Amino acid sequence: MLEIWGRRNASNVMPVMWAVGELGIEYVRHDVGGSFGGLDTPAFLALNPNGTIPVIEDDGFVLWESNTIVRFLCRRHGHGTLRPESDQACAVADQWMEWFKSTAYRPYIDLFWAIIRTEPARRDRQRIAALTETLNGALGRLEGRLAESDYLAGDTFTMADIPYGPLLYRYFTLDIERPRLPKLAEWYERLSGRPAFQDHVMLPFGTDPEAWLRLERQGAAGGVGR
């Protein structure tokens, strides 16, 4: 059985869980990271010396880094579906997965921390505005891509779309200024209609650190499923 280490509400764990849900893989998930701790134990560091989540073990094979895990699972269980069959389409999927990490992820996660993970009285409004502008600019480039096809790697849902799940859910939920990006909104609507997205990405996160931690602890039972 596939084992997954990582709390369910972590931005880098949710794409892995979404992929697992889409692929129907039987799994057990262990709560570590965030308020659960456990990342600095010898047992965990033996799995990932970086002390970060997610980590998986699949039949004795250990792997970390979220996009790498998503690619691995899609190669094993979703070749020709979530992992495109042609080399060109697969390269396009890889391209957008890399672009997520290089361009979209940092302003997104910094903005999320600046709002939800910061007490209201300590929030830096100028920084929030600057991060929002940067993120909106990046997502504007996605708008152009989505004018060409329904999904990032073409007209069908693939692994290319998966890393963006937590970003899109939180982007459309946060109380921020958003430009009119109709193709992005339509893409999000298509993704949010998928049951695995609803199960593993659309998790409530509250409006402040106290609510965030309370909701995080609701995942304390870990997870088993397929």
DSSP collapsed to 3 states, 21-47:
HHHCCCEEEECCCHHHCCCCCHHHHHH
Contacts of 18 (CB under 8 A, 6+ apart): 162, 165, 196, 197, 200, 201
Same domain, 74 and 96: no
Same domain, 98 and 191: yes
Q: Which residues pair with 154 in a beta bridge?
A: 151
In total, how many domains does the chain have?
A: 2
Mean pLDDT of the chain: 95
Q: Has residue 225 got a pLDDT over 90?
A: no
**pLDDT on residue 224:** 52
pLDDT classification of 108: cutoffs 50, 70, 90 = very high
pTM: 0.95
Range of the domain at 220: 2-81+213-225
Same domain, 106 and 47: no
Q: Has residue 84 got a pLDDT over 90?
A: yes
**pLDDT on residue 221:** 47
Q: Each residue of 177-213: pLDDT tens digit?
A: 999 999 999 999 999 999 999 999 999 999 999 999 9
Give the span between the Cα atoms of 198 and 87, in whole angstroms.
Answer: 30
Same domain, 102 and 76: no
